[in-house]
Amino acid sequence: MHIVIAIVTAIGVIAAWYYRLKMIGGAARDVARVADRVVNMPRKFSFMRRAAHTGLKAVDDPREAAAILMVLVAGGEGGNELTDHQRAVIMEETAEQFDLDEEEAEALLVHAQWMVRDVQVPAGVGERMARIVITTPGIGPKELVDLDAMLVAVSEADGTAGSEGLKMLQVFRDQAGLRA
């Protein structure tokens, strides 16, 4: 009988320690999530402050305007979420064409999404962003064609381009004088 009690006690001790270790692991995951949020807070607050104080009318960087165009083509305006594949295509295109590292490309995408979070009429914003890109000194026909290719890649990120994406693509092409 004393052997059975010893086995039950050992199982109880093992179960108690297993429960404690499991709780410690859960707490460690929670701490890691909080640490990730804390690390990203300065960048998030910087975007929020910049967007709140300036808005879309203050955009003058052609890379920022191009990123906003890509988000609009992907349908990310008005608080709509982008799919993981759309996000990946935008980050890949901006990193490659604008010579950015992965973190900078993600920051540019997050900023562009933040800027269009309240947009209800994407065509007007698209026209303004296209004008910014087109009127920037040093942007020539090659760069406009490259941006058009980027926009096409974004519009087809989830298979076929949607009607809203095609409308935004046409807005850019009309402003840039490109023909499909």
The pLDDT tens digits for 153-178 are 888 887 777 778 788 888 888 888 87
Exposed, middle or buried: residue 3 (CB in 10 Å: 0-12, 13-18, 19+)?
A: exposed
- Is the pLDDT at 141 greater than 80? The verdict is yes
| Buried b or exposed e, range 98-133, using 16+ CB within 10 angstroms | eebeeeebbbbbbbbbbbbeebeebeebbebbbebb
Measured between alpha carbons, how far is 111 from 46 in angstroms, rounded to an integer? 9
Q: Give the model's pLDDT for residue 9.
A: 92
| Residue at token pair 């004008």 | 131
- The rounded percent of the chain whose pLDDT value lies above 90 is 6
Confidence class for position 42, pLDDT limits 50, 70, 90: confident
Overall pTM > 0.75 = no
Q: Tell me what the mean pLDDT of segment 57-71 comes to.
A: 87
- CA–CA dist 168, 162 (Å, integer): 10
At residue 51, the pLDDT reads 61
Which pair of tokens denotes residue 77?
């305006």
> Which residues contact residue 82 at a Cβ distance below 8 angstroms, ignoring those fewer than 6 apart?
71, 74, 75, 76, 90, 113
Instruction: Please state the rounded mean pLDDT for residues 126-146.
Output: 88
Query: What pLDDT score does 53 carry?
Result: 58
> Is residue 47 predicted with pLDDT exceeding 80?
no
Average model confidence (pLDDT) for the chain?
A: 85
pLDDT of residue 155: 85
Asked if residue 110 has pLDDT above 80, the reply is: yes
* Mean predicted confidence (pLDDT) in 34-50: 78
3-state secondary structure of 158: coil
